A and B are shown apart, each in its own frame.
Chain A
Amino acid sequence: MQPTIEPTTLRNSRTDDPVGRTLLDDLIELASYYRGRGLDGCELTDTELRFLVGLIRYRFSPPEGTILSQRGHIMVFGGAGAGKSTTSNILSGTECAEVNSQAGYTRHPTAIYLPSDGDPPETWPDKLGDLRCCDRAQPGSLDADRFSTRVPDSNPVDPEFLRAFVVWDCPDLTTRDSTHYVGRVVEIAALADLCVYVASDERYNDELPTAFLQAVLAAGKPTLVVLTKVSEFDAEELVSLFRQQVLARMRCSELVLDVYPVPTPLRGKIGELWTSAFPHGARLRGSVRESLVDLAGVRASAAEQAIRYVADREDSLLKPLASDVGHWRAWAELVRRSAHTAITRYEAEYLDRWQGEDFSQSHELLLRAMAPGRANYVWRTLEYLRVPYRILKTMTARYMDRGSVGGVDESALLESIREHLYDSLVLAVATRRASDPFWEALHSDLLKREELAMDAVFRDRHAQQTRLLRSRSREAIQKLEERLAESAWFVRVLQAARLLLDVAAIAGAIYVGYLWSEGFHLWIMVLVLAAVGIVDDLVRLACHAVVRRQREEIIATQKQNIRELIQSAYVDVLTRLPKGLGERLERLSGLCSRIPQSLRILSRQLSAGRPAGDSP
């Protein structure tokens, strides 16, 4: 019975699905992030993560290697010493897996198969996830993540079986070192089309192996259960016990195809278990063949179940990332708020009070342009007339103009603002330190202030900007000067207008005074003095309005500059912390929404029964 599958269509329908690919890429990125981060204290474990990634990988974008798509893969798994290798041998009908009395002897998954005669010959992928293909000839370290392939030396009982399927003999799940290599089993579990769960009389209700069995079933893998080391008399009772105690409590237990006891043969005859002298091999192979007749169908329904499985674990899968992203966002918000405080402080304590010596220059320039000069007698007289008003004004002004706390040293202020920015952040992070490793990492990074090079960058750029600003305001004055020099007639008109204004004011004052008092009195003089002074002030105000535009422009530029400076020298640098993580989290934050979205699309496609590649 050869499984009827069309490899090409199967491959295409899987690998060309863009959503599946995106999902896989996202998951791989997530996994690599979690590997660097560590999953201590999380609901999600490394093993589960690897399983989830594997399920998606082998369903939507399996590695190159025709043997993966063309053959059914059978995984043999179970607790230490339960007899996995023995079962592998029974299944493949030859002594191929090394049976050892040492518990936890097998450390790497081994694929047992016979090469088929097809043309072109089947190929193995270089890697299954993180597992590298390694021939037995090269003895690798026990700790290396690898798998090996093995072709039996002796002739198996049923060679056709090993030409149609691959039997994976896996390491155990229970010994003290198993935490190091349970990931390898998980990788094969994700790949397998059918699982064989091996449990001994001692082990059949152990926590870890049954939990693994549950995961495999929930992920949609059809499973055969083999109970080993039972005596002939207990076999039936054990099977029913297993059904009652283990399977009855499990979800998806309908995927368990059969519970099959393999009684221990008499002493010295264990080696005969996989020969044709015992019926177990043939019966197991029969079950496998029967359930994998429609490999494509099995895979399709497994794919659907796998998507559902991953979608069910979406929360625990994304929780560590979401929590990190949350912390990072809180941190970025802290930085932004501190930067905002710094900018506000700069504006309130410096910019708003900034007089700017350059503006008084252009002010003077305008006033001077309007004055016809000392040579003009009318002007000189007017200047004398203005003196009493000015004296009075100066005396009053001391009482009017108060509250200007001026003369702030800009660089000193900036220094103190920067210190405050840094101190407040250090403090905010220090108080959160105990809550999460994120803040701890942030704290230690933040204390390496010199390495962050924020202050030096700020100082350099600020000096540069100040120079630029100075030269710009100088340019503006020069431009004004040039314009005044160029248009001499305009200056003349201005001067004439100003004189006219003064004369008109004097005339008006005399006229008003004359009308009221019906004759010339001394206080008409006072009125004239006031009028001249007021006109002078009005002209000054007008000039001021012209100059103010220039000043406001420069202040706005300065505000913008400082804002950008703090953004580039502080906010950008600080939000990239903790080192190597900040930036990454910014990028990864998209996964929190993209992964659930991909999962929803995929499950909709699969339940609609359409080939996954059809829809956009």
Chain B
Amino acid sequence: MTAVSDQGLLQQIQAVRLAIDEILNLLDSSPVTPFSGKDVAELRAAVGELRIRLEELDAEPATLTVVLMGGTGVGKSTLLNAIAGERIAQSGIVRPTTQFSTVYHHADLKLDLLPAPFRHCRNIAHHRDDLRHKVLIDTPDMDGSVVEHHERLREILPAADAVLYVGSGEKYHDLAGWKILREQARSRGFAFLLNKWDRCLASHDESTGTPPDEDFRRSLRDAGFESPLLFRVCGRQWEARRVDGKTDFEPIPDDFADLCRWLEAELDDRAIRDIKARGIAGELDHILSMLGRMTPPDWSRKAQSLRMQWEGALRTRLADHARLLVEAADSQSVELERHFGLIGRQGIGGIFGVYLRLFDRIMHLPGLLLPFSSATAKSEMQRIAERCLDAIPPTTRQTHRDALREHLLALADREGWPIEPLGACMTLDEYDETSSPLADGALSAALAAELVSLERDYTSPEGGRRVLQILVRFLCYWLPWVVLAGIGVSLIYSFSNWTMWGFGELFSSALLLAATIAGLHLLLVWAFPVNWEALRGRLFQRLENHLVGRLAPTYTQALERLAGKLSTERQRLSGAHGVLKGVRDHLRRMEGESASSLFSRFRVDHR
């Protein structure tokens, strides 16, 4: 005969084991879900208790462990002696009397099958068949001034299937016992004994008010026991009668006979099985309610709303960044203008080309002192971009970076996200916290890239501008030649007429050439505007698009990564929850009426 005879249940128990392993694995693997430390500790403790209970199920034949619990001097040991009919536990007037637990069990029971906490106790074997599958344990007190005793009781309790809560007229609802009662009520069968009934009767005769048994019942109902199973007993008289064999006193009427009948006959195998199943169901109830409380909300939906917020914030903040960069580029405006000018005029040869080179030299005469390489456009732009970035003080760069990061995290915090793992996800490199998507390298690369693309657009425009450019180039090359040729022709013509040019003619033709060149220069400036103000606006637009388009996703991806991890953890938890819930429901269905009627019925929903 086994506690869990049907195969289905055995399989389910195996599933429970796997589920709690899953939970423990999750808790051990430093989860990103922000569980509170208190919850985790409580859950671990509950899972530990459940493990002990599952272990007990393996024991065969199933034995019911009944623990006698109560304050010092209420008569636990006396009662055990009375029930056993022999002096197995010491009782006396020294408080606290019992120091160690005593296990009272059937001789056939293999002790190593008992749950671990019971194996180290003093044990007394008996040969009574009516108590064959029951183990009675006398425990030390929980309210005396020897604190070690309370701990011994605490060690024993997790392995108990049922508790006989012993109270006396003085101590039936003391604080120390009540605390334990409230904790244990959900997962253990409880029956209550009001010992020293003779004293209660005596003192009640003398005084007024509610009798102790009524008051006890009321307290129990307050604590959540709908129909407390209460035996009023006088352990002393039964110890005297059954152990010492004294009969020379007037019997005091009590419920001891009922208690023995209940213990010996009513708690049959089926009841034992039920009470065990109910204990596990109780533990599962507790674990389920904790899991329900700890299971995080659905982060994927929340991620959507936070992502929207982030995108808005990133757009404005990155525009600020772009503005900062463009302002930094202001400092390099002369170089940029000259660079763009040179690029634009490349390939214009002839007279105008010579003029342009000359003009550039004159205009940038002081610039000759500065290093100016004629390297390829790309590396030149990279160099300029780096110099631009240098124009922003490092602290400013850092502050802007931090401001963005902190703003995003603060937004997440407002939505209840765990910010520490999120902050860790937000770096480019998982192992380097300083690598930000907005690091100097990334910014200068972005600036250089946009300058190059700006240059590309500038040198090879599309559509109408392209035609215009070809036209202007054509004019720039040919017009001076045409003018010069005209002047030459008119000079030859005048030679042919044998007239020498005077100063006036020479001057006016030089003026014509100068005017042509000046006009062409104006045309060039109009067609290829190289002034910084015009470039600046375009650069800002491009930079903004670049930052928002390329760097912003790094942040939102971090969010998605975290949301992914969170939902995985959520799924693992709710998976375990589902399994445990299935088993709990099965156990509840299986649970017969006997267990409920044989022990005090406790309202599960009672807090």
Evaluate contact between A396 and B366: CB separation under 8 angstroms: yes
**B:321-377 near A, CB below 8 Å:** 324, 327-328, 330-332, 334, 363, 365-367, 369-370
Which of A80, A176, A407 is the most central at the interface, judged by chain B CB atoms within 10 Å of its CB?
A: A176
**Closest B residue, CB atoms, query A82:** B170
Evaluate contact between A427 and B93: CB separation under 8 angstroms: no
* B173 in contact (CB, < 8 A): yes
Evaluate contact between B370 and A399: CB separation under 8 angstroms: yes
**A:395-449 near B, CB below 8 Å:** 395-396, 398-399, 402-408, 412, 416, 419-420, 422-424, 426-427, 430-431, 434, 447
Evaluate contact between A102 and B212: CB separation under 8 angstroms: yes
* A208 in contact (CB, < 8 A): yes
**Helix, strand, loop or mixed for chain B's interface?**
helix
User: CB-CB < 8 A to A204: which residues of B?
Assistant: 95
Evaluate contact between A174 and B407: CB separation under 8 angstroms: no
* Binary CB contact string for chain B from 205 to 246 against chain A (1 if under 8 A, 0 otherwise): 111111110010001000000000000000000000000000
* A561 in contact (CB, < 8 A): no
Alpha-carbon distance A228/B556, docked complex (angstroms): 75
Alpha-carbon distance A210/B414, docked complex (angstroms): 50
Alpha-carbon distance A202/B327, docked complex (angstroms): 86
Q: Which of A101, A349, A423, A430 is within 8 Å of B396, CB to CB?
A: A349
User: CB-CB < 8 A to B410: which residues of A?
Assistant: 422-423, 426-427, 430
**Given contact pairs A99-B207, A207-B143, A404-B331, A423 touches B170 in the complex (Cβ within 8 A):** no
**Given contact pairs A271-B206, A345-B399, A207 touches B173 in the complex (Cβ within 8 A):** no
User: CB-CB < 8 A to A267: which residues of B?
Assistant: 202, 205
* A615 in contact (CB, < 8 A): no
**Closest A residue, CB atoms, query B210:** A102
**Closest A residue, CB atoms, query B334:** A398
User: CB-CB < 8 A to B175: which residues of A?
Assistant: 174-176, 178-179, 208
User: CB-CB < 8 A to B298: which residues of A?
Assistant: none
Evaluate contact between A416 and B403: CB separation under 8 angstroms: yes
**Given contact pairs A402-B331, A427-B413, A206 touches B395 in the complex (Cβ within 8 A):** no
Q: Which of A104, A348, A427 is within 8 Å of B419, CB to CB?
A: A427
Evaluate contact between A176 and B72: CB separation under 8 angstroms: no
| Min CB gap A345→B, angstroms | 6
User: CB-CB < 8 A to A583: which residues of B?
Assistant: none
Alpha-carbon distance A422/B393, docked complex (angstroms): 23
Alpha-carbon distance A207/B71, docked complex (angstroms): 10
Q: Which of A234, A268, A447 is within 8 Å of B414, CB to CB?
A: A447
Alpha-carbon distance A175/B173, docked complex (angstroms): 6
* A79 in contact (CB, < 8 A): yes
User: CB-CB < 8 A to B146: which residues of A?
Assistant: 205
**Given contact pairs A204-B95, A268-B205, A427-B406, A399 touches B367 in the complex (Cβ within 8 A):** yes
* A131 in contact (CB, < 8 A): no
Q: Which of A175, A238, A399, A427 is within 8 Å of B334, CB to CB?
A: A399
* A341 in contact (CB, < 8 A): yes
Evaluate contact between A203 and B399: CB separation under 8 angstroms: no
Q: Which of B96, B178, B212, B414 is within 8 Å of A101, CB to CB?
A: B212
Alpha-carbon distance A434/B39, docked complex (angstroms): 13
| Min CB gap A73→B, angstroms | 26
**Closest A residue, CB atoms, query B417:** A430
Evaluate contact between B327 and A405: CB separation under 8 angstroms: yes
Alpha-carbon distance A80/B178, docked complex (angstroms): 14
User: CB-CB < 8 A to B409: which residues of A?
Assistant: 423, 427, 430
Q: Which of A80, A82, A207, A424 is within 8 Å of B406, CB to CB?
A: A424
User: CB-CB < 8 A to A234: which residues of B?
Assistant: 93
Q: Which of B170, B320, B391, B393 is within 8 Å of A200, CB to CB?
A: B170
Chain B's interface size range is 35 or more
**Closest A residue, CB atoms, query B207:** A99
Which of A82, A412, A427 is the most central at the interface, judged by chain B CB atoms within 10 Å of its CB?
A: A427
User: CB-CB < 8 A to B599: which residues of A?
Assistant: none
User: CB-CB < 8 A to A211: which residues of B?
Assistant: 145
Alpha-carbon distance A542/B516, docked complex (angstroms): 46
Alpha-carbon distance A67/B94, docked complex (angstroms): 42
* B444 in contact (CB, < 8 A): no
* B36 in contact (CB, < 8 A): yes
* A557 in contact (CB, < 8 A): no
**Closest B residue, CB atoms, query A207:** B145
User: CB-CB < 8 A to A399: which residues of B?
Assistant: 334, 366-367, 369-370
**B:17-47 near A, CB below 8 Å:** 36-37
Alpha-carbon distance A416/B169, docked complex (angstroms): 71
* A364 in contact (CB, < 8 A): no
* B309 in contact (CB, < 8 A): no
Evaluate contact between B402 and A245: CB separation under 8 angstroms: no
**Given contact pairs A405-B392, A420-B407, A424-B406, A80 touches B174 in the complex (Cβ within 8 A):** yes
* B147 in contact (CB, < 8 A): yes
Evaluate contact between A103 and B144: CB separation under 8 angstroms: no
* Binary CB contact string for chain B from 61 to 96 against chain A (1 if under 8 A, 0 otherwise): 000000000011110000000000000000001111
* B420 in contact (CB, < 8 A): yes
Evaluate contact between A207 and B37: CB separation under 8 angstroms: no
Evaluate contact between B170 and A426: CB separation under 8 angstroms: no
* A277 in contact (CB, < 8 A): no
| Min CB gap B186→A, angstroms | 18
Evaluate contact between B71 and A206: CB separation under 8 angstroms: yes
Given contacts A205-B144, A402-B334, 16 further A-B contacts (CB under 8 A): A100-B209, A102-B210, A102-B215, A103-B212, A105-B209, A202-B73, A203-B95, A206-B72, A207-B145, A208-B175, A229-B199, A405-B327, A405-B328, A419-B407, A426-B410, A426-B414
What are 26 A-B pairs at a CB distance below 8 A?
A82-B170, A99-B206, A101-B200, A101-B203, A101-B211, A102-B210, A103-B212, A174-B174, A175-B175, A202-B171, A203-B171, A234-B93, A237-B93, A245-B94, A246-B145, A267-B202, A345-B399, A348-B396, A402-B332, A402-B334, A406-B327, A420-B406, A423-B403, A427-B406, A427-B409, A431-B420
Q: Which 7 A-B pairs have the closest CB atoms?
A: A81-B170, A202-B73, A205-B95, A176-B178, A100-B209, A423-B410, A420-B403
